A and B are shown apart, each in its own frame.
Chain A
Amino acid sequence: MSSSHRNLQTASGRFEAAEHSAIDCIGVEWSEFSRFEAVLSRYIDLCDRVAYDDARRSELQALRQARHLLSRLPIHPDHELVGLAALNLGDPRSPESEIDTLRADCLHHASELLRSKHPAAKLEALLRANLTDSESIEGRVALVAPEKYHDALRMCIDLSGISFELVSQSQLKHGGVWDAAIYLGPQHSSYPGTPLELRKKKVAWMYSAPASRRTIQILWSGGFDIADFTLWSESPLSLRRSVGLTRLKVFVDEIQPPPPPPPPPPSSDGVPGFVIDLAGDFRVLLSQEYGPRAHVIQMNDFNVTIESESADRLARGDTLLLRVDRTAREFVINSASKKMGRSVYEKAKAASSGFKQRVVTKENENRTESEARLREAGIANASYYLNACADNEYIAPGKFEQYQKICIALGIAHSVDEYTLFKKMRAAHRTAGSDARERIQDKLKLDRSWEDETREKGFSLHDFEDLGNILIAAIVKITPMNVTLSTLGRVQKDGNYVD
């Protein structure tokens, strides 16, 4: 079978899966977990209102993590991944206050939970009862769970006799078409920092553009309303069958990321730009006019592209690709230098520095006058050029007329030869930059596990060898603000530059 046939067949399968899709929801009761969840929620609510010490903070974090995992995975509560067994549950402090009473209650229910069995551990029987023979024996069944838990799941659940494959959301999104897909737990519990409603929309495709003719959603916690998983109320989306408890009382709230650090104080002498807060407490400052452009990852079924985007067009939820050290920049410089020849490149670099220095000297003498002179010469964005010349990565104006006007207006030397060097340098940088981008793009296309990791944590870090370390992270907040040129494009973590 040719690959083109496979592609067309896959696409056709996708359309047909959406056309004939059936969504079955199976709710399983697990009263021990419901009780634990309810008490934990009250305990968290109370803790959010009072100050508490590091020991309580870390215990609370462990309990939340346990709840998060148990709501998503059919693994036994005493599994080491869950972390409940490692907590000191047997010796709660003597309750002196409401908060301690709730804590004691919470630990008690956690102990009960440890003694219970995860109901979805009976998955085999559940699936045997719900899958047809043609699906479970002859067909291809996808069992969907985050990739990092696949090994643990293989150890925990016994599905012998059922022909299934463990797949992640991204494998489901970009792979072929299955006879049935089983979703374990809520599918929207990733995307840290994203509001619940938006998270549901982000996974709406799993129900409205499924990779299988039949979707079986198994839940043992939380409610499920298929209407929440639509973009614009797609008419095909409806549950075919719903059995068991699909509306349990408590909804699992996510592990909330700590709020991002406050934005830096506004800088009056900077240029217009944005403070971009990213998942994982990363932050980058960008400007629509100066410094590097943003690189946004765009994805479709088979393709991943890195699009350069002006900072003012970015939106919350966009996924940015950022260099976190100077290696990529060095790659661009080295490639450009190789392409132009080292001596020509050095000459061009010196010419660029010389030109910028001449402009900066004039600017330092009298900025207002320099700006006025540039405007008189017909340069509308005079301040742009004055600011840009202070930027290390800036080469020179792109057009000769502009360069000539600037030099004449400021009374500084210029020559065609100098401009020719700028032009060559710019072209060489662009080619090298675009090569780097394509290489990264190809790597991201080849192995899409980064997609799951980014979805799970909101960010992922990658070592691209000679292209350096790359951060892929979702935007959680954008604050318009004046920013200083030297800070543009540099990634910060917890307020410190990472490069």
Chain B
Amino acid sequence: MGDVGVWSRSDVPQDAPNWARYFTSVGREMAERPNQGVGEVSPVVFLSVPTGQYAAWFLAAGALGAPPKTPMLDQPGDYRGTTWVAAEDQVADANVLVCQSSAGSSGLFTVQVLPDEIPRRGRQKTNYRPAVARYQADRMAVVLHPQGTPEERRGQLNLTADERSSIREAIAPLLPRGTNWYYWWTQQCLSPVVLVGTGSEFLMRQRAEILKESPSWVWPTSRTTLALDMKRLCDPLRLLLFPFSVISPTVGGRVPWLRSLRPRLVIYTSWTAFSSRHPATFAGVPAVVLVNRRVESSLKCADAIDQICNNDLSSVRSRDMSVRGIDLRLVEYPVVEDDGLVADVDDDEEQPDEF
């Protein structure tokens, strides 16, 4: 079926034109690459394209077909994190207690998810404390929050009951038999594909256009996932709550905790978006940068990467599918340690930005 589990070239949607299939392939391949730690190098692929339109979404569609990269819990402790919260029937923030599962079985942990209190409608004083859920650590994906993550992220509610049921109804039939829907969904959300660029509405409109006009160009599960259509997808403070997000390039500079999150793949929609990011933003995560040759910033990109790109592309599997008119460059960037600094918002405030 191509979009879950092992992937091969023939799995790329056959209906799609060459360029869309190539982006799908590059997106998938890059998302499959492991996230790297500080001191290592991380691959960034620059794709010189004749137009930047729609390309990001085919990269995203490919990346969503790659196995999620959720970390394994390996230290007992009391944490705050994002995971499946059964009481809310969705992925949400919760307190997470990681314990050694039993005496003698070293290395195995159990995870207890302690949902936050949910204020109940109509009852002013009494809050409802939902039940604690317990899982074996290898049966539940959890992403522990980096330091500085706000205790309560933007609002409590992530998906409405209607949204939850429609997503479940659409995706569950596409999963292989025996796949636990919520486990699958949690992994997708905790290892998201992040698109970084300006004009989120414009980008989201392109996504909708692809799904409306040429749905068969996208893998079924990616298609269903990308069909999510809500403004919350463009809210950086809700990262990890959805399988994909669209954020602006400067967010990382302003929100340090967000920088240390580790998505599955980061797609920069332009050189400007890539070059204006805080260098520690998603450092170590494979990235793809779209460089539209019809936009003048492509000249700056060419200048910047000409000397540092790796001419040996033998490690790039998708090059076999390469399409004339789309040129690929690979640069390996050292993964830098976060300086922890916040962009000086005050300075920004002081200098008039009005026209």
Contact = CB atoms under 8 A, between A and B. Distances in A.
Interface of A: 2, 4-5, 7-8, 10-12, 14-21, 173, 198, 201-202, 204-205, 208-210, 231-232, 234-236, 289-293, 295, 298-303, 305-308, 310, 315, 317, 323, 328, 332, 381, 384, 388, 393-394, 397-399, 402, 426, 429-430, 432-434, 436-437, 440, 467
B101 interface: no
Contact of B199 (A305, A317, A436): A305
A352 B210 CA distance: 51
Contacts of B355: 295, 306, 323, 328, 332, 433-434, 436-437, 440, 467
B213 A11 contact: no
B351 interface: yes
Given A208-B325, A292-B354, 14 more contacts: A5-B209, A12-B20, A16-B17, A19-B325, A21-B324, A204-B293, A209-B292, A232-B302, A232-B309, A290-B351, A291-B352, A301-B295, A303-B202, A317-B296
B325 A236 contact: yes
A398 B349 contact: yes
B99 interface: no
Interface residues of B, number: 53
A315 to B, nearest CB: 7
B62 to A, nearest CB: 16
B354 A433 contact: yes
Nearest to B353: A308
A192 to B, nearest CB: 16
Interface in B305-348: 305-306, 309, 323-327, 329, 346-347
A381 B293 CA distance: 41
A8 B209 contact: yes
B213 A202 contact: no
Contacts of A430: 353-354
Contacts of B146: none
5 tightest Cβ-Cβ pairs between the two chains A and B: A433-B354, A18-B325, A398-B349, A209-B50, A11-B53
18 contacts: A2-B213, A4-B212, A7-B53, A15-B19, A19-B18, A19-B324, A173-B294, A205-B294, A210-B50, A232-B305, A232-B306, A289-B350, A292-B351, A303-B202, A381-B347, A388-B350, A398-B349, A430-B353
Query: A21, A209, A384 — which one has the most chain B CB atoms within 10 A of its CB?
Result: A209
Contacts of A295: 355
Query: A18, A236, A308, A429 — which one has the most chain B CB atoms within 10 A of its CB?
Result: A18
Contacts of B349: 398-399, 426
A15 B350 contact: no
Contacts of B214: 8
Contacts of A231: 48, 293, 298-299, 301-302
A305 B355 CA distance: 13
Contacts of B17: 12, 15-16
B52 interface: yes
Nearest to A470: B355
Contacts of B300: 315
B209 A4 contact: yes
Contacts of A388: 350
B281 interface: no
A8 B323 contact: no
Given A299-B295, A301-B294, A434-B354, A208 B50 contact: yes
Given A202-B299, A292-B352, A433-B353, A14 B213 contact: no
Contacts of B20: 12
Nearest to A436: B355
A397 B350 contact: yes
A31 B198 CA distance: 51
Interface in B230-256: none
Contact of A11 (B51, B309, B351): B51
Interface in B146-182: none
Contact of B51 (A209, A232, A293, A323): A209
A433 B292 CA distance: 30
A392 to B, nearest CB: 11
A303 B199 contact: yes
B216 interface: no
B54 interface: yes
A12 B48 contact: no
Contacts of A235: 324, 327
